[in-house]
Amino acid sequence: MIEFYSNLKHRANTTELWAPTDIEENYKIFHRDRKSPNPYKPGDFTYSYNNHGLRCDNFDLPSDINIVFLGCSVTEGIGLPIEDTWSYQLLSKIRQKTNKNIPYWNLAIGGTGIDTQSSLLHWFGKINKIDYVFSLIPSLSRREYLFNHDHIQYWNIYLKNHIPIDELFSDDNYQYYQTYRSLTIIESIVSNRATMYCTSWDLSNATDILHKKELSSLNYFPSVIQNIEHARDGCHPGPTYHKNLANEFWTRTEHLFNP
């Protein structure tokens, strides 16, 4: 039985110089092999985690508007300072326009998919009211599974390790089914209670499911932003991508926020 993601406990209330994939070794490889300049150097920024192990403010802070960000490592901001992530930039625009006190609540976890997003949003909805949700959905093939009763393991198509699960999780219909289950959880949470906007960085997977009529509360829009540079780790999108994505969200949602 999962109450919260206990695998994050080890980093709760810590500040780290590096994070998974954004490691010194990757930085050196990137620095050596890439033609594009690396926008960041070691020591330029750190990873500070809240008391739940997420890279954002604590969830018990007072807030005038409750905004939640969902996503994977891109939204968590692997390889970037927090201020350069799309989620933080979008929040800055909202704060500036509304002049409200709004903590930065980002439930994104690297390596996770829509299943994890739905579980985290359900969990968060039990402890806090939710006014707005902004999500960057990763590949819909990403799953998670339970083992030893209360441990969660993230799964993606490139990290196969258990034969039976690999075959089942790789099946298109299974992916569609589980994605639909997750989206129904998210849709039920936001419908009548909150406003949500979402997009995906994987257009090949963001198929008709996100356009389904009954999921219209998700306000899905296809993003066409090209990644022109990389983050410090050489494998995540760089700051320009994040800036443009924040603008894409803002273009669609600015009218929702008034001083």
Partner 1 sequence: MANYSTLLPERANTTIKWIFEGEELQYYQFIEKGIIKATDDHNINYKFNSEGYRCDNFTDQSELPVVFLGCSMTEGIGVKFENLWRSRVLSRIRTITGKKIPHWSLALAGAGIDDQSRRLYEFSQRVNIKHVYALFPPMHRREYKYDGNDYRLWTGSANSSRIINHVFVDRDFSEYQTQRSLMILDSLRQALNFKITATLWGNRVEDEKIYKNFPNIKFFTPLYSFPDLSRDQCHHGPIYHATLAEHMWENSKENYD
Residue 157 CA to chain centroid, in angstroms?
18
Instruction: Give the E-state strand segments of the chain in sequence order.
Output: 15-16, 47-48, 67-70, 105-106, 132-137, 143-147, 151-155, 195-200
Nearer to partner 1, 205 or 223 (CB): 205
Nearer to partner 1, 92 or 191 (CB): 191
β-strands 67-70, 47-48: how paired? unpaired
Q: Among 28-36, 168-176, 202-210, 227-235, which window interacts with partner 1 (CB under 8 A)?
A: 168-176
Asked if residue 2 binds partner 1 (CB under 8 A), the reply is yes
Q: Which residue has the tokens 């959905």?
A: 137
**According to CB under 8 A, which residues from 204 to 233 bind partner 1?**
214
Pairwise CA distance, residues 68 & 131, whole Å: 8
CB neighbours (10 Å) of residue 16?
A: 12
Asked if residue 193 binds partner 1 (CB under 8 A), the reply is yes
Pairwise CA distance, residues 52 & 190, whole Å: 23
**According to CB under 8 A, which residues from 111 to 140 bind partner 1?**
115, 118-119, 122, 125
Q: Which of 43, 164, 258, 259 binds partner 1 (CB under 8 A)?
A: 164
Asked if residue 160 binds partner 1 (CB under 8 A), the reply is no
Q: Which of 48, 63, 174, 207 binds partner 1 (CB under 8 A)?
A: 174
CB of 172 to partner 1, least distance (A): 9
CB of 45 to partner 1, least distance (A): 35
Give helix then strand counts, H and E, for the chain.
7, 8
CB of 205 to partner 1, least distance (A): 16
Q: End-to-end CA distance of the chain: give it in Å, rounded.
A: 43
CA angle 146, 237, 17 (to 5 degrees): 70
Asked if residue 177 binds partner 1 (CB under 8 A), the reply is yes
Residues making contact with partner 1 (CB under 8 A): 1-3, 115, 118-119, 122, 125, 145-149, 164-165, 167-168, 173-174, 176-177, 180-182, 184-185, 188-189, 191-193, 214
